């Protein structure tokens, strides 16, 4: 069941990190030491990957094709569509470069994350047009005798589910099945047909008729992660209309919802995979879009990024959408440091990753390279430490960016579990 709420994956914890001091000049790119207690341990202080684009490639000019291979963070640039973008007006905050595509695919691919029973990924993303399309149909369902039948899938015959929205829905409808409308309150509905160029439907009783052919559906991915042992048949996809785990031939943790971030605005995406407890959580701008979704039954470990950004798929994917991507962070532990725009973690809707360079074994100090991101000079931000159990200080430690440390006296922190 899909639950939509702000940080609804968070639970109060008694052993939360507590920040007591910050030392160093608090400006972008400077080394800053954070002192406190209960930070937990992080065997390797550096993240698996911190890709700000400009820190990975030297000598590239604007609009150059992103190089790939063993000397770079990514093995693939899907269709060679992703370009190096250094146009100042298209940057986010302090960034000087990002990944960009002028239309269609904008996805980097194939990055292995060893030891990833836990996988945390975050990145910034923007599009200049809606990425969500569906067939919207009029209807006049009157009572429980009205029905819809999925007749076939002409593009992928064995695709397991269809999605039909309206009234008491959503529901999944398998090919060949008939669904009877239980609460016919809506006068429109939507049909989502992943990957299909055509899907034929029949509507009974007072529905809109028979043999409607859906033609506007697609399955385009913000993120695909896989088990390194079989990236095609053991995989996860976060698309514009659903999220699901695929362990061939079965689908687990399948949840449908419209994923269509506001256009021309940068959004902070987060994806959390726990391959021990078999759950995933997906967030956009601090909101849990998919909250601790269970995928028990699948036999896999997510330890490779197959594609990240915008990987279009299906005949009717939007080909003219321009997209941008920046500041990709990947690690095999929950442990991380962030700054946020609110005095409590659960109310932050703007977070910036602070990449660590040192993390003490006694859990009492962390050194980070300050990443101001798109916070403005002179603004107040709040510092949060997430420990190895996924627990963060709920009350942030305030800092003034581009100023000196301890500019504002902090209040006592409390705990929040963000795993």
Rounded to whole angstroms, what are the CA distances from 196 to 154, 207, 314, 402, 409?
Answer: 7, 23, 6, 51, 57
List, for residues 169-197, the tens digit of each pLDDT value.
445 555 555 555 444 444 444 555 554 44
pLDDT at 292: 94
Tokens of 142: 């009157």
Length of the chain: 419
List, for residues 44-74, the tens digit of each pLDDT value.
999 999 999 999 999 999 999 999 999 999 9
Residue that the structure tokens 């589910």 belong to = 161
In CATH terms, are 10-43+335-417 and 49-129+226-331 the same topology? no
Tokens of 418: 């963000």
Strand order of the β-sheet with 356-359 is: 18-23, 31-37, 365-369, 356-359
**CA gap 339, 353 in Å, rounded:** 7
What does the pLDDT average to over 86-105?
94
pLDDT at 373: 96
**Beta carbons of 314 and 217 less than 8 angstroms apart:** yes
What are the sequence ranges of the domains in the chain? 10-43+335-417, 49-129+226-331, 135-214
What residues contact residue 155 under an 8 Å CB cut-off, 6+ apart? Answer: 195, 196, 197, 198, 199, 314, 315
Strand order of the β-sheet with 178-180 is: 178-180, 147-153, 199-203, 212-214
**Residue among 99, 34, 20, 51 nearest 339 (CA):** 34
- Residue 276: how many other CB atoms lie within 10 Å: 8
CATH 2.60.40.10 is right for the domain spanning 10-43+335-417: yes
Between 140 and 291, name the one with better pLDDT: 291
pLDDT at 344: 97
What does the pLDDT average to over 247-275?
90
pTM, 2 dp:
0.83
Rounded to whole angstroms, what are the CA distances from 167 to 60, 111, 162, 187?
Answer: 53, 42, 16, 8
**Residue among 105, 92, 120, 121 nearest 66 (CA):** 105
DSSP 94-138: T-S-EEEESSS-EEEEEEE-TT-SEEEEEEEEEESS-----EEEE
List, for residues 308-364, the tens digit of each pLDDT value.
999 987 656 666 789 999 999 999 999 999 999 999 999 999 999 999 999 999 999
pLDDT at 177: 52
Question: b or e along 1-17 (b: 16 or more beta carbons within 10 Å of the residue's beta carbon)?
Answer: eeeeeebebbeebeebb
pLDDT at 15: 86
DSSP state of 285: T
DSSP state of 195: T
What residues contact residue 224 under an 8 Å CB cut-off, 6+ apart? Answer: 235, 236, 237, 238, 305, 306, 307, 308, 311
pLDDT at 399: 97
Question: Chain-wide mean pLDDT for the chain?
Answer: 80
pLDDT at 132: 73
pLDDT at 147: 53
**Residue among 179, 333, 302 nearest 231 (CA):** 302
- Domain 49-129+226-331 adopts which CATH fold? Jelly Rolls (2.60.120)
Q: Which of 4-13, 246-255, 365-374, 394-403 has the lowest mean pLDDT?
A: 4-13
**Beta carbons of 335 and 353 less than 8 angstroms apart:** no
Tokens of 178: 């008939």
Q: Identify the band that residue 21 occupies on the pLDDT scale cut at 50, 70 and 90.
A: very high
Between 225 and 178, name the one with better pLDDT: 225
């Amino acid at each position: 069941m899909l639950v939509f709420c702000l940080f609804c994956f968070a639970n109060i914890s008694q052993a939360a990190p507590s920040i007591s001091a910050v030392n160093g000049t608090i400006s972008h790119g400077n080394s800053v030491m954070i002192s406190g207690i209960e930070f937990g341990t992080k065997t390797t202080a550096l993240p698996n990957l911190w890709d700000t684009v400009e820190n990975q490639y030297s000598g590239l000019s604007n609009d150059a094709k992103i190089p790939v291979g063993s000397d770079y963070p990514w093995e693939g640039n899907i269709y060679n569509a992703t370009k190096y973008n250094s146009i100042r007006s298209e940057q986010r905050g302090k960034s000087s470069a990002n990944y960009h595509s002028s239309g269609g695919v904008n996805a980097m691919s194939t990055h292995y994350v060893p030891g990833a029973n836990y996988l945390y990924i975050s990145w910034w993303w923007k599009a200049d047009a809606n990425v969500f399309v569906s067939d919207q149909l009029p209807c006049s369902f009157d009572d429980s005798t009205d029905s819809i039948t999925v007749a076939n899938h002409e593009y992928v015959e064995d695709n397991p589910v269809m999605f039909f929205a309206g009234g008491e829905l959503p529901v999944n409808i398998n090919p060949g099945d008939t669904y009877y409308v239980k609460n016919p309150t809506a006068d429109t509905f939507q049909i989502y047909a992943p990957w299909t160029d055509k899907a034929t439907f029949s509507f009974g009783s007072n529905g809109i008729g028979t043999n409607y052919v859906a033609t506007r559906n697609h399955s385009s991915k913000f993120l695909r992660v896989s088990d390194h042992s079989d990236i095609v048949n053991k995989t996860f996809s976060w698309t514009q209309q659903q999220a699901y785990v695929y362990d061939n031939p079965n689908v687990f943790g399948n949840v449908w919802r419209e994923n269509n971030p506001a256009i021309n605005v940068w959004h902070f995406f987060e994806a959390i995979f726990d391959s021990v407890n078999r759950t995933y959580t997906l967030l956009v701008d601090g909101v849990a879009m998919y909250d601790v979704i269970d995928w028990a039954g699948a036999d896999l470990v997510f330890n490779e990024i197959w594609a990240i950004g915008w990987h279009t798929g299906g005949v009717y994917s939007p080909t003219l959408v321009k997209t941008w991507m920046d500041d990709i962070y990947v690690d095999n532990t929950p442990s991380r440091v962030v700054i946020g725009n609110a005095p409590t973690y659960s109310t932050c809707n703007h977070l910036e990753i602070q990449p660590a360079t040192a993390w003490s074994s006694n859990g009492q100090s962390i050194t980070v390279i300050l990443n101001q991101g798109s916070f403005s000079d002179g603004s107040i931000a709040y510092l949060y430490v997430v420990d190895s159990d996924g627990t963060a200080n709920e009350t942030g430690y305030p800092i003034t960016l581009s100023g000196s440390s301890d500019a504002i006296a902090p209040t006592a922190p409390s705990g929040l579990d963000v795993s």
